[in-house]
Chains A and B, each alone.
Chain A
Amino acid sequence: MAMKAIVIAMLIGIFVSLASAAVYLFRERGDSAKMAKALTYRVGLSVGLFLLLMAGFYFGIISPSGI
């Protein structure tokens, strides 16, 4: 259950960073560096989530279909 909560929290973090990058994209003057920074957070969180799932699987904490 705790694992499920961590996965959901990381997914929310990914959504927020992707959405904030979109907001910078839509702005009339286009805030390039801020957008790139938000997307960098997005990538970092996604890689973190994937590594977490793989590590959980490797150490037997979680299994596919049974988080």
Chain B
Amino acid sequence: MSSHGSYYLPDPSPYPVITSAGLFSLALGFVLWINEVALGSWLMLLGAAIIIVMMFRWFGTVVSESEAGTYDKQVDFSFRWSMAWFIFSEIMFFGAFFGALFYIRMFAVPWLGDTELLWPGFEADWPTAGPEGPIALQPHEVPGPGQFTPMAAWGIPALNTLILLSSGVTITFAHWGLLKDNRGQLITFQFLTIVLGILFLVLQVEEYVHAYTELDLTLKAGVYGATFFMLTGFHGLHVTMGTIMLIVILVRCMKGHFTPQRHFGFEAVAWYWHFVDVVWLLLFVFVYWFL
């Protein structure tokens, strides 16, 4: 570590390049794995292991630097702006997927139904797998060959909405606990938020198994299947990342880190969790409820 004037400069670090190598190994392994190359799964494991080790090392370095009082106002400001750009990229990411869903439902599918010449007999009703895809049934109907059943809002999706909204309530209690310097409230509600996050993920896996084994709703179920799994799948990935972030913050809270005045790490993760919660609410309203 070295500093020049008031501008903090960390020492050169191997973490970014090693983490990049881990990400590359994970992605390459995944590509090989879906192409049924035996080496693929081992490369994925190696990549995941590198990333996990790097997370411990990198997070550990940043946390210990923060606790040592290394970071000044300039670093605090740069953290806040880094978070702002990260949030911006996340909004653009989900904006693209929701944009695709709205475009398909409001424009692309009606256009296909508008002309009798191109696809005679195609009814442009949502949900659809497209003119040549399997036929969409009503929720709760049992699919036969060449059919699929869309996911109903009632059931696991509604339960998961309740769970994620409850986690939004618990993280808010944890937030106020931190601001009021009530460590017990902070740790208890932070822990509950993590439990609810993990419960959500378990139920999401259950929903996917139900979709694949009983509804014939797969990634191959045309444009409905593609948008359904891309939107809910990437949301699930974000809940996974958010849960890991919440666990890191919980460990820090248990170690006595953060004060009512200085707790940017907690604030950033809490906001992220609220964001993931709001994205789910949009999914529930536009993907599950409106169908």
A residues with a Cβ closer than 8 A to B are: 7, 11, 14-15, 18, 21-22, 25-28, 30, 32-33, 35-36, 39-40, 42-43, 46-47, 49-50, 53-54, 57, 64-65, 67
> With the chains together, A21 CA to B87 CA distance in Å?
12
Q: How many A-B residue pairs have CB under 8 A?
A: 94
14 A-B contacts (beta carbon < 8 Å): A11-B281, A21-B274, A25-B83, A25-B267, A27-B80, A28-B76, A30-B80, A49-B281, A50-B281, A64-B291, A65-B153, A65-B289, A65-B290, A67-B289
| Assembly CA distance A55 to B153 (angstroms) | 14
Interface residues of B (CB under 8 A from A): 73, 76-77, 80-81, 83-84, 87, 139, 152-154, 158, 161-162, 165, 168-169, 172, 175-176, 179, 260-261, 263-264, 267-268, 270-271, 274-275, 277-278, 281-282, 285, 288-291
Contact A47 B165 (CB under 8 A): yes
Interchain CB contact under 8 A, A18 and B274: yes
Give the chain B neighbours of A46 by CB distance below 8 A: 165, 168, 277-278, 281
Q: How far is the CB of A9 from chain B (nearest CB, A)?
A: 13
CB pair B77–A36 under 8 Å, yes or no, is no
Give Cα A16–Cα B290 distance, bound, in whole angstroms: 23
Cross-chain contact B169 with A32 (CB below 8 angstroms): no
Q: Return chain B residues, CB-CB under 8 Å to A21.
A: 271, 274
Rounded to whole angstroms, the CA-CA distance of A54 and B58 in the bound complex is 44
Beyond A18-B274, A46-B165, list 20 extra A-B contacts (CB 8 Å): A11-B281, A11-B285, A15-B278, A18-B271, A21-B274, A22-B84, A22-B271, A25-B267, A26-B83, A33-B179, A39-B175, A40-B172, A42-B278, A43-B169, A43-B172, A54-B158, A64-B152, A64-B154, A65-B290, A65-B291
